[in-house]
Amino acid sequence: MSRTLALAVTLWLAAYARASALTAPIPANARQCYYADVDKAGEKLGFYFAVQSGGSFDIDFEVKDPNGKILLIGQRERQGDYVFTANHIGEYEFCFENDMSTLTEKLVDFDIMVESEPRRDVPLKPGQIADQTSALEESIYRLNNMLMKIKRTQQYFHTRENRGFSTVVSTQSRIFWYAVFQTLTVVGMALFQVYILQAFFTATGRRYKV
């Protein structure tokens, strides 16, 4: 009985929400769009993104409904977490634009989630079965909310780790090239001093006939 109940809960949760988690590189001066289908009006759309690496960790984004109306727009955003109601049936467009960078590629993690807004109606059966079903649904909703919070926390720490690693790599590269430049400068100054001293002693050692 418990296995059957667990299987039913799993299938119900799978039918309740549809989500896609992706990691996409956005080249410099490029625009990339992704799409999500909404089957009926009133569904919830969740949109989360975070720039993992590249430049100042920022990106432009835009969300449009099937009629081409702009629902969300942002410029030079590092990350965002949005939930809104889809009022129209059709294909919703989620675009990232990296026009502010002429050379740097951006790596973006993002989730697009489609889920039904209204809850499933409790069966109108008198007695204990209806009460148990209602309590089970409430437990499922609470569990789903907790899992979503854990997922967002994991994504936050994942983003922080990637940004920290990118900063460390960039700092190491700058230190390396600064050390190379400093070494070349010291060697160049030493050679220049040798040349000046050699030229000075050569000039003072000359003999001129009158």
Tell me: the pLDDT tens digits for 49-101? 999 888 888 999 999 999 999 999 999 998 898 989 999 999 999 999 998 87
Report the amino acid identity of residue 201.
F
In percent, the amount of the chain with pLDDT more than 70 equals 76
Higher per-residue confidence, 14 vs 193: 193
What confidence tens digit (pLDDT) does each residue in 92-120 have? Answer: 999 999 988 778 889 898 989 887 644 44
Does the global pTM surpass 0.85?
Answer: no
Average confidence score pLDDT of the chain? 78
Residue 20 has a pLDDT of 54
Residue 90 has a pLDDT of 92
Angle at Cα 92 formed by Cα 88 and Cα 97, nearest 5°? Answer: 145
Residue 149 has pLDDT above 60, yes or no: yes
Three-state secondary-structure class, residue 21: strand
Question: Which residue segments constitute the domains of the chain, with CATH numbers given?
Answer: 2-163 (2.60.120.680)
For the chain, the C-alpha Rg in angstroms (whole number) is 31
pLDDT band at residue 127 using 50, 70 and 90 as cut-offs: low
What confidence tens digit (pLDDT) does each residue in 176-205 have? Answer: 999 999 999 999 998 888 888 888 777 665
Q: Which of 52, 49, 56 is nearest to 33 (CA)?
A: 49
User: 49: Cβ–Cβ under 8 A, 6 or more apart, which residues?
Assistant: 59, 61, 79, 80, 96, 108, 109, 110, 111
